[in-house]
Amino acid sequence: MSNISKTTDWREGRRRSARDAIIDAAWSLVAEEGLAGLSLRDLARRAGITTPTVYSYFDSKNAIYDAMFAQAATKFAKRMAEPFGDLDPLEVLVTGVRRFASFCTSDPARYQLLFQQTLPGFEPSPESYAPAVEALAHARGWLARNGITKARHVDLWTALVTGLVDQQISNDAGGSRWTRLIEESMAMFVAHCQPSRVSPNRSSRQTPRKGSLL
C-alpha cells in the first residue's frame, strides 16, 4: 500500500521519539517549575540538546505546549474509556469520578494545562483538543446510565466533580481530604436527580435520549 521506504520509516520513527523525548523533558520541567515556568533554555538542557535544536522539532514554544496538551488529552481519553467490568450504574459513576480525580491529582501541571485556561496566550489547536471532548462524552455516558441526562444536572455534576478535584489539588496536595468525599457526593447527587428512584436499574429515565452516546 505505501511506497515509503524502510529508511524513511526509520527516520520518521527516530524523529518521533526525539520529539517525545523533548516533551518528556518538558513535563518533568513543569512539574518542578510550574506550567508557566517552562523556558526553552532549561528544556534544551534537560533534554541534552541545545536551544536551536528544539526549533528543528517544534516551531515555537506554543507548539510545545500544544504537543503537551495533545499528549495529555490522549492519555485522558484512554483513561476515561477503560471498561468498568460488571458494576451497577452508581458504582460506574463513582469509579469513573475516582478515575478522573486520580488522573488529575497525579499531575497538577497536566491538570492545569488541560482544564484550567490559565496559560497566558495559549490555547490548544482543535486537533489537540479533540480527544478531550471525546473523553467528556464518556462521562456523559456514566451519567446517562444513572438516568441523568438533563443539561442542568450534567452542569451541576461537572461543577461538583471539578470542585472536589480543584480543592484537593489546591488545598491538600498529596492527601485525600476531598477525594474521599467522592462516594458520598455522588450518592447525594444521584439521589437529588432521581428523587423517586427505588431500584438502581434504568427503569425511570427522566428524559428520552436523543442522539447521546451509550
The binding site for a second copy (CB under 8 A) comprises 33-34, 36-37, 112, 116-118, 120, 152, 155-156, 158-164, 166-167, 170, 177-178, 181, 184-185, 188-189, 191-192
Angle at alpha carbon of residue 81, lines to 75 and 85, rounded to 5°: 135
- Options 7-15, 102-110, 153-161, 184-192: segment touching DNA (CB under 7 A): 7-15
Would you give the binding string for DNA spanning residues 21-60, x where CB under 7 A is met? -----------------xxxxx-----xxxxxx-xxx--x
Under the binding rule (CB under 7 A), the answer on residue 119 touching DNA is no
Between 66 and 103, name the residue whose CB sits nearer to DNA. Answer: 66
Nearest-angstrom CA–CA distance, 19 and 68: 11
Range 55-84, binding DNA (CB under 7 A): 55-57, 60-62
**Cβ neighbours of residue 67 closer than 8 Å, sequence gap 6 or more:** 19, 23, 58, 128
Query: Minimal distance in Å, beta carbon 211 to a second copy?
Result: 22
Query: Minimal distance in Å, beta carbon 173 to a second copy?
Result: 10
As given in the structure block, the three cell numbers for residue 109 are: 501541571
> Residue count at the site for DNA (CB under 7 A)?
21
3-class state of residue 76 by DSSP? helix
Helix ranges restricted to H, the chain: 6-33, 40-47, 51-55, 61-81, 89-105, 108-115, 126-145, 151-171, 182-193
Q: Are 141 and 82 in contact (CB under 8 A)?
A: no
Between 170 and 201, name the residue whose CB sits nearer to a second copy. Answer: 170
Nearest-angstrom CA–CA distance, 144 and 54: 45
Under the binding rule (CB under 7 A), the answer on residue 134 touching DNA is no
Q: Are 81 and 135 in contact (CB under 8 A)?
A: yes
Contact residues for DNA (CB under 7 A)? 11, 14-15, 18, 38-42, 48-53, 55-57, 60-62
